[in-house]
Structure 1
Amino acid sequence: MMQLATDGPIVTINVYELRSDAMNVTEEGIQSLPLPGLTPATLQSHASVFNSRRNPARRDIRRPPICSNVSTEAGLRWLWDVAVRPILGGTQLTSSGRLWWITSGLAGRMPFHAAGNYARGPEENAPSWITSSYISSVKALKYGRDKGAAAVPSQTMLLVTMFTNPPPHRHLDTTYEEEAIGAVFGADKLLHLAHPDPETVLKNIPEFAFVHFACRGASINNDPNRCGLLLVRDGTPADLTIANLEDIELKKDSVAYISACSTAKQTDSKLAGEAIHLAISFQALAFEQVIGTMWGADDAAAGEVAKRLYKKLMSRTDNSMGNGQLKVATALHEAVNEYRLASPGQNSVLE
């Protein structure tokens, strides 16, 4: 297991009534760090804070009325104080700054990658110290490593957008992402499917190295196979589901960017012990690397981050990347931090 931590530590969050801790795996060994302030009760109360991160510009299918007396900023400070800061203080990081999170249950709804007291200073937050990724298990990480490092793929993009949604779902403003992606890839390397049916998308996915979904999405309670993205067929809602992806064969080193709400958040309490959500399912079944959103995706922020991300990925050749590796997590981390610094107070980008 320690061999898997050569590029950065693997941190598993365990939260129980009797005890909560973080199991940290590094090159040097395995250690347990107690997290007494992280309890099922406090997780439950703060989960409502992050679940309420919604506004008319954000993209989810279900919009439950959730109220909380705690602000998002206070929630991020709390998560930093009780979990992420103690973990980073007791964990030997590598020069890459990479860290892999394994979460389950209520902890799977927490944005550990974004935790911080941003008002206190530039070093009092997770993004200033680490480049985060989420994985479902150590076994899943080993499987990905055994396949070899992701190479720089061909610069081809499939863009799937749902600007107009069938009733009762509200329309989305995907203009930001359409313009950003068009500017980076150009017409000759881009296929834009606007308001497609699932069959058309599935037919085209294997032909492209990058697939960007700008649409509504949600995790469906009780049935992970029905988790998916809202498309349309003959004017009525039609989902592109996890089950639909099982039989398609993708290009090696394919990358999916799912710019929709709830794609990286566990929403079903009955499956709380399982690391099941849309982004991880996309990776397990099909794509080499997947970018998902944990809270509501803001239209303008989504477009700006996508533009910065794809510019970085397209500008990095084999020589600059080192061994031809496509470091998506690093490029995303840089894109988010650049946008955050350029847009003070816009914490939506941390999602």
Structure 2
Amino acid sequence: MIVNASQHSCDALIIHSAGDPVHVLLDIKQAEVSEFSSEFQSLAEQFGSSDYQLTLVGILRKLWNDVVDPVVQALKESEVRPGSHIWRCPTAEFTLLPLHAAGPYEKGRDNLSNIYISPYTPTLATLVRFSRCVLPTFCCQGNPIEGKELKCVAPELAIVARHVTPVISFASLEDGNATVESALDALNRNQWLHLACRGMLNRTQPFESSFAMMRDGPLMIKDIIRSNSQNPQFAFLSACHTTVGGEGSPDESIHLAVAMQFCGFRSVIGSMWSVDDEVARQVVSAFYRKLIGDSKRLDCTGAAVALHKAVRSLRKKIPLEQQIVFVHIGV
């Protein structure tokens, strides 16, 4: 599903695996989408520090009414079954909005997350390219700290180790060993990567967005893109602002998660805004538990479903904006 905003019209284009595309004209103007996007970005900066719940729900309802529900109705008319994967490819100002979290938020009515599993893709070509996935090895990138201490990173890595150790061996880089050089080396040698660190968003220069490492400076998007990963499969970016690009060039979709896809990672999980340290630990634990399950194996094609189930299991334990902060990109 491609969602577009232009001066002429705002549209959604549903592209099925078979059959003709379906065009849905959205009853919203580009200026409204732009204003809406700016409003949400301002609100996201307040998460955790003010009474924002009603405003957030209002935004998610408007997204539902003006953008997502018309598409859902078209999908139902095309007999797309509930529980199906619906990949979203937002463009323009839509890239800054949490389409995956849209819903009426009313008792007795389903939000999008109750109807479909809805990961993102930066382009259709990327989705086609990464439509196949093999079982990977695992590398855990641990505790790169800059600024305020992330106290739950070490417990988070212990959780990852507990879940994956019975399945496959992995390498762990923590504290002083978590440098730019060692992280790039891990990118080049491993097919799975879990980064638990602080994400540094640069809205004006998106290629300068980075992961905060140790000693030798930040690991920037431009460094990641230049790496030479060999058949990479999955990356969990347990950090803040990893799926948000520059406000001035939303069409370019340049952010940390997309940088991982440029390197070849078929499946990536990242965040749209600030992530609470303890919440990240809970989501990571639930995610790997759901991903591995009874199969006792790692398969990146199950990441979207595992994230979907993990978040559903935590709905009564964490605030709304933290329930919807993590998104899946890719297969």
Q: Same fold (TM over 0.5)?
A: yes
Q: 1:101 aligns to what?
A: 88
Aligned partner of 2:66 in structure 1 is 82
Percent identity between the aligned chains? Answer: 21
Aligned letter for 2:66?
V
C-alpha deviation, 1:222, in angstroms:
4.5
| SS at structure 2 position matched to 1:90 | helix
User: Aligned residues, how many?
Assistant: 317
Conserved 8 A contact 2:86-2:116: yes
Change (3 A) 1:225 1:57: same
The CA deviation string for residues 88-119 of structure 1, in whole angstroms up to 9 with x for no partner, is 11123246510111112211001111111323
> Which runs of at least 4 in structure 1 moved beyond 6 Å after TM superposition?
55-58, 66-70
Q: Secondary structure at the match of 2:301?
A: coil
Question: How many angstroms does 1:49 deviate by?
Answer: 2.6
The normalised TM-score by structure 2 is 0.84
CA 1:101–1:256: 2 relative to 1, 3 Å: same
Which among 28, 52, 57 is matched to residue 43 of structure 2?
Answer: 52
How far apart, in 1, do the equivalents of 2:47 and 2:213 lie?
19
Partner residue of 1:258 out of 225, 229, 237: 237
The separation in 1 between residues aligned to 2:287 and 2:318, in whole angstroms, is: 19
Give the alignment of 1:125-144 within 5 angstroms.
125-144=111-130
Q: What SS does the aligned partner of 1:98 have?
A: coil
Deviation at residue 264 of structure 1 after TM alignment: 0.9
Contact 2:245 2:255 in 1 (8 A): yes
Indicate yes or no: 2:23 matched with 1:23: no
TM-score by structure 1 length?
Answer: 0.80
Alignment of 1:275-286 (within 5 A): 275-286=253-264
Do 1:221 and 1:268's aligned partners in 2 also have CA atoms closer than 8 Å? yes
SS in 1 for 2:252: coil
Return the match for 2:142 from 135, 160, 175: 160
Contact 1:231-1:239 within 8 A present in 2 as well: yes
Query: Who is 1:249 aligned against?
Result: 228
Question: How far apart in 1 are the matches of 2:273 and 2:103?
Answer: 17
Q: CA deviation at 1:309?
A: 1.2
In 1, Cα distance between equivalents of 2:214 and 2:300? 36
The match for 1:268 is: 247
- Deviation, 1:194, is 2.0
Residue 296 of structure 1 corresponds to which residue in structure 2? 274
Structure 2 vs 1, CA of residues 72 and 56 (structure 1 numbering), >3 Å: closer, same or farther?
closer
What is the one-letter code of the residue matched to 2:69? Answer: R
**Aligned amino acid, residue 249 of structure 1:** N
Which of 170, 187, 190 is residue 189 of structure 1 equivalent to? Answer: 170
Q: Give, in whole Å, the separation in 1 of the partners of 2:289 and 2:69.
A: 32
Q: Which residue of 1 aligns with 2:290?
A: 312
Question: Which residue in the other structure is 1:209 paired with?
Answer: 191
Mean CA deviation greater in 330-339 or 181-190: 181-190
Number of the residue aligned with 1:62? none
Number of the residue aligned with 1:332: 307
Match of 2:317 in 1: 343
Partner of 2:106: helix, strand, or coil? coil
Q: Distance in 2 between matches of 1:250 and 1:244?
A: 12
Amino acid at match of 2:43: S
Once the two structures are superposed, what CA deviation does each residue of 1:35-86 show, in whole Å capped at 9, x if it has no partner?
A: 113532344234333443246979xxxxxxx998971111111111111111
Relative to 1, partners in 2 of residues 1:331 and 1:86: Cα closer, same or farther, differing over 3 Å?
Answer: same
Post-superposition offset of 1:152: 2.5
Could you list the runs of 5+ residues in structure 2 that have no partner in the other structure? 326-331
Asked whether the 8 Å contact 2:279–2:318 carries over to 1, the reply is no
Q: 2: CA distance between counterparts of 1:131 and 1:250?
A: 28
Please tell me whether residue 36 in structure 1 is matched to residue 12 in structure 2: no
Q: Quote the Cα distance in structure 1 between the aligned partners of 2:159 and 2:48.
A: 18
Give, in whole Å, the separation in 2 of the partners of 1:100 and 1:114: 13
Query: What secondary structure is seen at the aligned counterpart in 1 of 2:202?
Result: coil
SS of equivalent to 2:207 = helix
CA distance in 2: counterparts of 1:55 and 1:185, whole angstroms: 35
Deviations 1:262-307 (A, max 9, x none): 21122331x2222222211211223221111112112222111111
Cα pair 2:104 2:110 within 8 Å, conserved: yes
Return the letter of the residue paired with 1:293. Answer: S
- The answer to whether the 8 Å contact 1:40/1:106 transfers is no
Partner of 1:63: none
